[in-house]
Structure 1
Amino acid sequence: MSSHTNDKEEFEGFISDFKQTLHYLFHEKENINKLSLERGLPAEVWHGIMSKTPLSVAIPSEYGGRGAIVKECLSILSAASYESLSLSLTFGINIALFLEPVAKYANDEVKQDIFNRFLQEENMGGLMITEPDYGSDALNMKTYNEEVDGIYRIKGTKHWQGLTGMADYWLIASRRKLNDSDLARDIDFFIADGRIDKQKIVVEELYNNPGLYIIPYGLNKIDIEVPSKFKLNPESTGIKMMLDILHRSRFQFPGMGMGFITRMLDEATKHCENRIVGAGNLLCMDQVQYQLSRIQTAYTICSAMCFKSSSVSGIDHNLAAEGLEANTMKAVVTDLMHESAQTYTQLSGANGYRMEHVGGRGIMDSRPFQIFEGSNEMLYSQIAEMVTRQMRKQKQANLMEYLLTYAPTKESVSHFKKHVDFSINGTIPQRKLVDLGRAIARIICIGYVLEMEAAGFRKDLVENTIKNVQQEVAALISAYHHSSDTQVIVDYKDNSGWYSFV
């Protein structure tokens, strides 16, 4: 038997044991439906989860981990999100926003101690980029650093960091102070260790977030001193390092989506089989068949994203220039997660509106995924801008002709010929860029599905997925062609009260 087969069997044992542990902790020892409505998890539940060293998947083997293999990282995220989206996001933050950047960019002399604490002491780490006045505008952050005798002083304010007050380590983004008023354009990252007094971060406020209850978010005051060995080393610029980190994180969103969407599909199907209406069950209804096929489409696309991500997003790849596919994965999978939760809740009727219902809660837990790490509208408009910029460069006006030459769409675009055979001229309003980006992102996803089908994935799911996505792209392109220049009327209250016209 080859070592590859041994490795595969060994990992299947590892992940199976982890799933059983989660099931025991969340369904026998405690009730996950109740826990999901409380702030944080009880200490013994955390200990039970972390005793299985799930984060070892993101630690290189030379430091005692499992090797930072993408398919293992995605499998852990998926196993967690089947039971709890909050738990999966906690792992996602640790893996993509702390452990992988440390493995790739930290000094060798600091790695072993950090990784040991993750493996032996159940430590956690997070990333601080977002600031109260500069949300998605990270390049204008005001947190600064200045060096004196090999020690960096870092000062500023950060907020909405997942694991606020809970993480042991933080990766902190800042800009070098040039003089009293100016900061460098480039971005530096430092590792802060909360055990060291001079590196402790003060939590000024914990936010009362309506979903993802288990994860603490808040406002953090930074005034710390960090030795130079804890500064990350970019391959070229700090901005490119930040893009590599954020894009790799977006390539891991399908792992968090996979378990969650599978859970919505399993629960919705079970409910529709068991719910009797008149002479038959809900499954007999045509509209219900359509709704469930939409969740199956989400399942298929998310599977294909995991398949694709496993081969292209490891820490040995630099993803700084892969914005288009990173944006596609993040935006599409989070739309699919939210839609799947909405559909299951709708099919559940009044029961979907219980706080402890996994679909109803899933609506609130999945909603922020469409907002954080770049809101989806912004990412879709960026996708359309990237494509139209390349088209102009190649002096190509016809969208279909371009997509036939573009690697991520050249195999899939034949399924959308009648929708995308048109020319793009002149500047496009932002609202239309969003529609166009949504459509292009879905055509890219069908490319992933076809790649996975070629590797042996079942054909009936693929055929259903293509039909559903064709319908979606047709609607998006129709919206793109429809002329709309509506504007908000700020002083709308004058002469608009219905009562005075009766």
Structure 2
Amino acid sequence: MQAATTESVSVPDKNQFEHIPFSQFADNLKEKMKQVFHVRADIDQLSLKRGLPPFVLREIMSVNPLSVGIPKEYGGRGGVMKENIGLLATASYESLALSLTFGINSALFLQPFGKFGQDEVKAGVFNRFLNEKAMGGLMITEPDYGSDALNMQTYYTEKGSKIHLQGKKHWAGLTGWADFWLLSGRQKSNSDKLMRDIDFFLCDVNAPGQNIVVEEFFENLGLYAIPYGRNRIDVQLPLAHKLVPHTTGVKMMLDLLHRSRMQFPGMGMGFIQRMLDEALNHSKERMVGGKSLFHYDQVQHRLTDLQASYTICSAMCANSSEKAGLDVDLSSEGMEANAVKSVVTDLMQEAAQSAVQLVGAKAYKLNHIAGRGIADSRPFQIFEGSNDILYAQISEALVKMMKRAKERNLFQFLKSFDLTDKAVHFVKKQVDFNLDLQIPQRKLVDMGKIIGRVISLNQVLDLGDKGFKKELIDGSVTFLQQEITKLMSSFTFKNSEKVVDDYEENTSWMNFVAG
């Protein structure tokens, strides 16, 4: 297999991969998934084992799903955001792990590499994706610096025509599988100090001096199809493998991460729809007390919440398709990206929990898609930014903007803010108060959840203006109004309790029972 180097590589024939309409492209993928997951094998049984049988990936990759993330000049479909998100949604209806595999390849490798990679190595890399079904991933997280990415200790030095990169990375999806990686690190100065800025590099594990050693594969709780682990980095890379930021490396990383977070609704879309369909079908078929579950009021409540989540996620997909294109610099769009990622992943986990509750005991199995969905969707609330951190960052950004605008009233500020200007009128009663801009961290998280859902409501209203089914829009508005009301109650409730270190002293309940 040819390694990606700075040597000249011919560009694939642009007609080699016919640019069929995306609807047909998606149908081809659906047919392949049907064949491998329901005809040749049983996805519910496959899900009990680590990894995927070779024929599954071979057949699915035969329709070139990753071509959506490759520029047209290199034989791909052009990196159109609507198609990237549509691909994730198509896959996640059948398999959240497969959708995440596509997301890792596209959002975390192909898109940033296409945008910031050097032209002389692009043709060779993209050619291998299209013709040899290569895969790629991203390594940022380190064992001792998880969410503290700016202090990563992986470092590099330049000597002659080579870059020597060394360090440890873990929890990179597709560990041991991917042919290409984008590796992050900081330059070491002559005085052995690490620079503040961050750089990214293309690594081809099949090229001499670029092998990455997997020290351990993790027994991850869910997403069995995707390998994760701990990696030792000690590679020699050509200078042409360094990504070129438009301004700084940190802004390049933010642009990359924000665009990825804006695509999370694609993975949520098919998954939430599947949870909704499973819950609807079971509720209509299951008879209890002489009538189907569907006719019970509490069941209707759960089903309408699932439909609201489906609609909110649809609005997010439409919004991201319009805003998150590769030609847009998203480095400064942290508030919207964080809101989209955190809210949709909360909705994914809640959808799985509701589906299991409605289906009952048989759903509490790894070989049932609803039970599996609880474990598979849970890490989405953690990776690429823990939701608690993202919610706090939303509030911190809000406070900065309100201080800059010299506005204390939350309603008045949100009314003039483009991400919330429509939605705020639907929750005026809840947010019409002066906000104390000195907010403790636990309240920053609460407020971030509120603002995230106001932003989501704005996107739902935008979707409604475009003609989306009115009954679903109205149900989503009601759902988000209720969510914001509950969260506001939590925000205003006074709670500054601290952990009791010596909690075991005088706390054995048996000492307080007679006899």
Asked if Structure 1 and Structure 2 have the same fold, meaning a TM-score greater than 0.5 normalized by the shorter chain, the answer is yes
CA contact under 8 A between 2:189 and 2:195: conserved in structure 1?
yes
Displacement of 1:425: 2.0
SS of the equivalent of 2:183 reads strand
**1:168 paired residue among 171, 179, 186:** 179
Provide the C-alpha distance between the structure 2 equivalents of 1:439 and 1:241, rounded to a whole number of angstroms: 29
What amino acid is the match of 1:262? Q
Secondary structure of the structure 2 residue equivalent to 1:198? coil
Q: 1:205 aligns with which of 216, 227, 250?
A: 216
Write the mapping of 1:450-489 to structure 2, written as runs, cut at 5 A: 450-489=461-500
Q: Secondary structure at the match of 2:21?
A: helix
Partner of 1:15 in structure 2? 26
Aligned partner of residue 190 in structure 1, secondary structure: strand
Within 5 Å, give how 1:26-425 maps onto structure 2: 26-425=37-436
The equivalent of 2:9 in structure 1 is none
Q: CA deviation digits over 1:228-276, x for unaligned, max 9?
A: 0010000000000000000000011000000000000011000000000
CA distance in 2, matches of 1:428, 1:257: 31
> Equivalent residue of 1:354, what SS?
coil
Q: 1:366, CA displacement in angstroms?
A: 0.1
Tell me the secondary structure at the aligned position of residue 38 of structure 2: helix
Q: CA deviation at 1:314?
A: 1.0
Q: Which runs of 5+ in 1 are unaligned?
A: 1-6
Structure 2 CA distance for aligned equivalents of residues 434 and 183 of structure 1:
32
Structure 2: distance between partners of 1:390 and 1:188: 29
What is the distance in 2 between the residues matched to 1:385 and 1:184? Answer: 26
2:12 counterpart residue number: none
How many angstroms apart in 2 are the aligned matches of 1:303 and 1:82?
A: 14
CA contact 2:427–2:481 (8 Å) conserved in 1: yes
Is 1:25–2:12 an aligned residue pair? no
- C-alpha deviation, 1:121, in angstroms: 0.4
Residue of structure 1 equivalent to 2:456:
445
Deviation at 1:179, TM superposition (A): 3.2
How large is the RMSD of aligned CA atoms in angstroms? 1.0
Partner letter of residue 110 of structure 1?
Answer: V
Once residues 186 and 90 of structure 2 are traced to their aligned partners in structure 1, the CA distance between those partners, rounded to angstroms, is: 37
Match in the other structure for 1:3: none
| Displacement after TM superposition at 1:181 (Å) | 3.5
> 1:497 corresponds to which residue?
508
Equivalent-residue separation in structure 2 for 1:292 and 1:116 (angstroms): 45
SS at match of 1:215: coil
State the Cα distance separating 1:385 from its structure 2 match: 1.0
What secondary structure does 1:406 align onto?
A: coil
| Cα deviations by residue, 1:254-307 (Å, 9 ceiling, x for unpaired) | 000000000000110000000000121001110100101111111001000000
Q: Which amino acid aligns with 1:140?
A: N
Deviations 1:443-480 (A, max 9, x none): 10111111111111010000001111111100101111
Assess if the C-alpha contact under 8 Å between 2:19 and 2:77 holds in 1: no
Between the two proteins, what is the percent identity of the paired residues? 53
With over 3 angstroms needed to count, the CA separation of the structure-2 counterparts of 1:180 and 1:156, relative to structure 1, is: farther
Structure 2 residue runs without a partner (length 5+): 1-17
Shift of 1:43: 0.5
In 2, distance between residues paired with 1:267 and 1:403? Answer: 37
Contact 2:287 2:293 in 1 (8 A): yes
After superposition, the Cα gap between the structure-2 partners of 1:235 and 1:194, relative to the gap in structure 1 and judged at 3 Å, is same
Q: Which has the higher helix share?
A: 1
Q: By how many angstroms is 1:94 displaced?
A: 0.4
Between the aligned partners of 2:464 and 2:328, the Cα distance in structure 1 is 25
CA–CA separation in structure 2 for the residues paired with 1:197 and 1:278: 69
* Paired letter, 2:75: G
How many residues are treated as equivalent by the alignment? 496
Q: Does the Cα contact within 8 Å between 2:47 and 2:366 map onto a contact in 1?
A: no
Could you tell me how far apart the structure 1 residues matched to 2:300 and 2:20 are? 36
> Where in structure 1 do 4 or more consecutive aligned residues deviate above 2 Å?
none
Kindly provide the amino acid, as one letter, of the partner of residue 294 in structure 1.
D
Greater shift in the superposed pair: 384-393 or 237-246: 384-393
Deviations 1:414-465 (A, max 9, x none): 0000000011124111111111110111010111111111111010000001
Code of the residue aligned with 1:285 in structure 2: it is: Y
Q: Counterparts of 1:118 and 1:499 in 2: how far apart (Å)?
A: 65
Post-superposition shift, 1:197?
A: 2.5
Deviation at 1:388, TM superposition (A): 1.4
CA contact (8 A) 2:399 2:437 kept: no
Letter in 2 for 1:91: F
Deviations 1:165-222 (A, max 9, x none): 0000000000000135410000010000011120000000000101000000000000
Shift, 1:495, TM fit: 0.3
